[in-house]
Structure 1
Amino acid sequence: MSMARAVTLRDVAEAAGVSVATASKALNGRDDVGAETRRRVEEAAARLSFTPNALARNLASGQTGTVGLLASDLDGRFSIPILMGAEDAFGAERMSVLLCDAREDVIRERHHLSTLLARRVDGLIVVGSRTDPRPSIGRDLPVPVVYAYAPSADPQDVSIVPDNVGAGIMVVEHLLSLGRRRIAHIRGDVTYAAAHDRIAGITSTLGAAGLDLLPPHSFGSWSEAWGRAAADAILAESPDVDAIICASDQIARGALDTLRDRGVGVPDQVAVVSFDNWEILALGSRPQLTSVDMDFEALGRLAAQRVFESIAGTTTPGVESRPCRLVIRGSSVKGA
């Protein structure tokens, strides 16, 4: 049995009684086609179930309808939701996505970049694994590039990052609204920009209220073990603590273990808040964690929007901070 022949643009043109060139102009929204002619062509295309050749249409406009997503670490839990958000936005515009993972390797990244450019992608999103500035992949590329999560070190590039300073402000304002005044902070890895940005927001907001962080002030790791040890140190040095800000949900899980083992009620005696809103941890905690959500999917969608704007030549270079949101649960507000 032979396959049915695909409907062509010539078939649509013949059905509408116009030339192939006129049918093409009508279906591509050109202004030099009369309204009645456009109506006849569109009705013929609908009647014949005509699907335009996307490749041919895009090549005619100088575009391929594809974009590249270049990730640094797909094993990390931040990259995937950012990429999902970007893919949703591109899919809504019928753009195809080519995904490459550099695995934190500069040579691999350069190879993937060459491959994506050889495929004539219309734009690129480069997704980092942490919010520290990263080297630019270059100013003289033939397509626009947007950096997501990890900003480019070049101020002439377009970068989208979560507002970690604002996140620190947000958690302190929440605790102050609950009447907490003796606040400690379990810090994350000293080598991460996110750890320092969150501290900046925390200390500036406490300072404006005439307060200081309780000691100790040590940095550690992004782990439950560090959370347990740091919470022990806080209870030993600042036994009157009434709130602990944890630099991540993993740290917070460890802190909750220590507070429970010591018989300290959460949130009655000590409120606990954290960052990242990693739901597998936040919802599995006892009680569930109040945590700042970086809204990674929305960040990815915004990065895709900036790619579209860059293609149109309307995006402003620089680093754009995207606000986060606080998800309030039982570790800070009883019954929440």
Structure 2
Amino acid sequence: MAESGRATTRTRATLTDVAALADVSVGTASRALSGSGRMRPETRQRVLDAAQTLGFRPNQQAQSLHTGRSWTVGLMTTDGIGRFSTPVLLGAEDALGAGKISVLLCDTRGDLIREQHHLRNLMDRRVDGIIVTGRRTDPRPPLTGVHDDVPVVYALSPSTDPGDISVVSDDHQGCGLAIDHLISTGRTRIAHVTGPAHHAAASDRARFTQEFLAEAGLELVLGKPHFGDWSEAWGRRSAQAVLRAAPDTDAFFCGNDQIARGVTDTLRESGVAVPDDIAVVGYDNWDTMALAARPPLTTIDVDLSEIGRIAALRLLDAIDDKPSPGVHSVPCRLVVRDSA
């Protein structure tokens, strides 16, 4: 028999079809698919299985009208390069994806005018909430122009308002991990080389480092931290200066992995064995730097993806009217490689 040549049109499954297949009411099917309401786990699973069998996809627009939610979240970042914001975003998406919430990414490039432009667009799209992140740990002013019913969570860069919800890396604990590791390997003449003093990451880590050394009855080589740039070039210059002034130095704790890589370059070129003669510990666990260094860097992982995940969970809580204002700290991890 010849085929008619006319394409067969497949009727899209409806919520009524799902309810009929699962042998439940339409209301029960709706609650099961939205994750709301109380019901037996096997009933909810039966509805989910029916929806999968039929290829049912909920009408997002209808859901939004019914629940008053758009099922979208805005993520605003000042980190156009993505070095810090990308892991935070991926962590947030992992948490939000489980609830089938879409993420709208906005890059403000650190410009307040651009930030307000993106914020107006997010408000027009009626997002359920906003996550704000950046490339530095310095506190930042709260967003202005956010509607009262739209919660905001600040990730990595905390809000200056203690009433806001912020999720940050626990630099105090991270510095403790680094110093404990160095001391446990017999190092007592430790230099600290870091970034610009006006950056919170540099000033905080330097202060915490000195506190932990003091608790162990030690002090920094030359009695002070060495502030400079977040660069390999600064790591090389500072290592040369420290070795000239304090040749008995037995360890460098660096404010980031770029500086640490510069330090290891200088030590290697000077004929110093790492870690046998001098140990080196970095900060951030940036694979591009840490794994390419010679030898690969022992470093502190600030767990950016976990910061993003926790920020997303705190945002979901706030959307459900269960906010948790204040600063939430995410622990760091010591990653031991060959430099210390």
TM over 0.5: yes
Alignment map for 1:1-336 (pairs within 5 Å): 1-12=7-18, 24=30, 45=51, 48-138=54-144, 140-215=147-222, 217-332=225-340
CA displacement, residues 102-155 of structure 1 (integer Å, 9 cap, x when unaligned): 111111011101101111111110012200010100475321110001001111
CA displacement, residues 190-240 of structure 1 (integer Å, 9 cap, x when unaligned): 121011111122111100111110126431001111111100111111111
Q: Evaluate the alpha carbon distance shift between residue 6 and residue 327 of structure 1 in structure 2; reply closer, same or farther with a 3 A threshold.
A: same
SS of corresponding position for 2:282: strand
Displacement, 1:8? 1.7
Displacement, 1:37? 9.6
Identical aligned pairs, as a percentage?
A: 52
Residue matched to 2:4: none
Distance of 2:58 and 2:101 partners within structure 1: 15
Which piece of structure 1 moves more, 21-30 or 159-168? 21-30
Distance of 1:173 and 1:89 partners within structure 2: 33
CA displacement, residues 225-258 of structure 1 (integer Å, 9 cap, x when unaligned): 1111100111111111111111111111111111
Distance of 2:23 and 2:200 partners within structure 1: 64
Alpha carbons 1:168, 1:200 under 8 Å: kept: no
AA aligned to 1:5 is T
Q: Number of matched residues?
A: 332
Displacement, 1:95? 0.7
Q: Evaluate the alpha carbon distance shift between residue 44 and residue 174 of structure 1 in structure 2; reply closer, same or farther with a 3 A threshold.
A: closer
Distance of 2:308 and 2:127 partners within structure 1: 18
SS of corresponding position for 1:172: helix
Displacement, 1:18? 7.8
AA aligned to 2:338 is G
Alpha carbons 2:123, 2:147 under 8 Å: kept: no
SS of corresponding position for 2:226: coil
SS of corresponding position for 1:150: coil
Q: TM-score, normalised by structure 1?
A: 0.90
Displacement, 1:100? 0.8
SS of corresponding position for 2:233: helix
CA displacement, residues 241-299 of structure 1 (integer Å, 9 cap, x when unaligned): 11111111111111111111211111111001010111111111111100101111111
Displacement, 1:311? 1.1
Alpha carbons 2:235, 2:258 under 8 Å: kept: yes
Distance of 1:165 and 1:17 partners within structure 2: 56
CA displacement, residues 15-58 of structure 1 (integer Å, 9 cap, x when unaligned): 67887557546755776999999899778656544332233123
Alpha carbons 2:206, 2:225 under 8 Å: kept: no
Distance of 1:212 and 1:35 partners within structure 2: 59
Q: Evaluate the alpha carbon distance shift between residue 96 and residue 178 of structure 1 in structure 2; reply closer, same or farther with a 3 A threshold.
A: same
Distance of 1:94 and 1:191 partners within structure 2: 40
Q: TM-score, normalised by structure 2?
A: 0.89
Q: Evaluate the alpha carbon distance shift between residue 223 and residue 19 of structure 1 in structure 2; reply closer, same or farther with a 3 A threshold.
A: closer
